[in-house]
């Protein structure tokens, strides 16, 4: 019976709920193979053709009908880079480029406002928690994103000021099949004067090594 109790205690100590197993029980338990493989930054390419990556949000502004419009930004390509240090998974890089979109095509016919050169890049990221479980690691935290964009006027792209989407929460999982990242934010995440407000943002990413 004592042996059985010891086995049960040990099994509970090495379960997947803790990122730092109890050293008094496990002794000098080292990093997992996955953690070792992430000691150098590893980049993952977003699965765009498989439609498993998406960025959607609600667009409102003085041009919009009541309630605005929920839009999905068409991803052109994207990449995510992560690394691990001292048991913490760090988000090193996150980049999206998007196809052109048109807003206000209802209230400003026939072509609306044409936005081009749309791209999002990582500004800063902090990881609040990391959980290692064999060949899988989960982490959560907050990041700032930088939005670059231009407006198309008379066939020419006019660059607009870079914008920041600040303190968005994210969850990330990495395993042998690739990387998955999700960020869901309710309420406004960015406002550009009276022209446009982005809110209720949902970022869902599946990327492969």
Tens of pLDDT, residues 105-127: 555 445 677 889 999 999 999 99
| pLDDT score recorded for residue 5 | 35
Q: What is the pTM for the complete model shown?
A: 0.78
- Name the percent of the chain lying above pLDDT 70: 73
Measuring CA to CA, how many Å separate 19 from each of 14, 136, 178? 10, 11, 20
Q: What is the pLDDT of residues 47-91, one digit of tens each?
A: 877 656 888 877 766 555 555 666 778 889 999 999 999 999 999
53 neighbors 80 (Cβ within 8 angstroms): no
Domains of the chain, with CATH numbers? 1-30 (no CATH), 32-208 (2.40.160)
The conformation of residue 65, written as its DSSP 8-state character, comes to P
Please state, in angstroms and rounded to a whole number, the distance separating the CA atoms of residues 11 and 165: 42
Q: How many CB atoms lie within 10 A of CB 144?
A: 14
Question: Long-range CB contacts (< 8 A, 24+ apart) of 48-52?
Answer: 48/75, 48/76, 48/77, 48/78, 50/206, 52/204, 52/206
69: closest CA among 96, 99, 102? Answer: 102
């Amino acid at each position: 019976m004592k042996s059985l109790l010891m086995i049960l205690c040990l099994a509970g100590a090495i379960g997947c709920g803790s990122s730092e197993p109890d050293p008094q029980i496990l002794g000098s338990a080292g990093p997992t193979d996955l953690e070792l493989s992430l000691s150098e930054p590893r980049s993952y390419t977003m699965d765009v053709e498989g439609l498993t990556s998406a960025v959607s949000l609600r667009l409102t502004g003085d041009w919009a009908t009541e309630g605005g419009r929920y839009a999905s930004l068409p991803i052109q390509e994207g990449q995510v880079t992560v690394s691990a240090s001292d048991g913490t998974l760090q988000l090193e890089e996150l980049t999206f480029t998007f196809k052109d979109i048109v807003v206000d095509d209802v209230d400003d016919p026939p072509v609306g406002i044409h936005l081009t050169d749309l791209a999002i890049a990582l500004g800063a990221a902090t990881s609040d928690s990391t959980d290692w479980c064999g060949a899988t690691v989960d982490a959560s935290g907050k990041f700032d994103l930088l939005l670059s964009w231009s407006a198309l006027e008379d066939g020419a792209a006019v660059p607009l000021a870079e914008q920041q989407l600040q303190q968005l929460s994210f969850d990330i999982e990495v395993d042998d099949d690739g990387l998955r990242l999700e960020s869901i934010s309710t309420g406004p995440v960015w406002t550009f004067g009276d022209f446009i407000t982005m809110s209720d943002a949902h970022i869902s990413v599946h990327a492969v090594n």
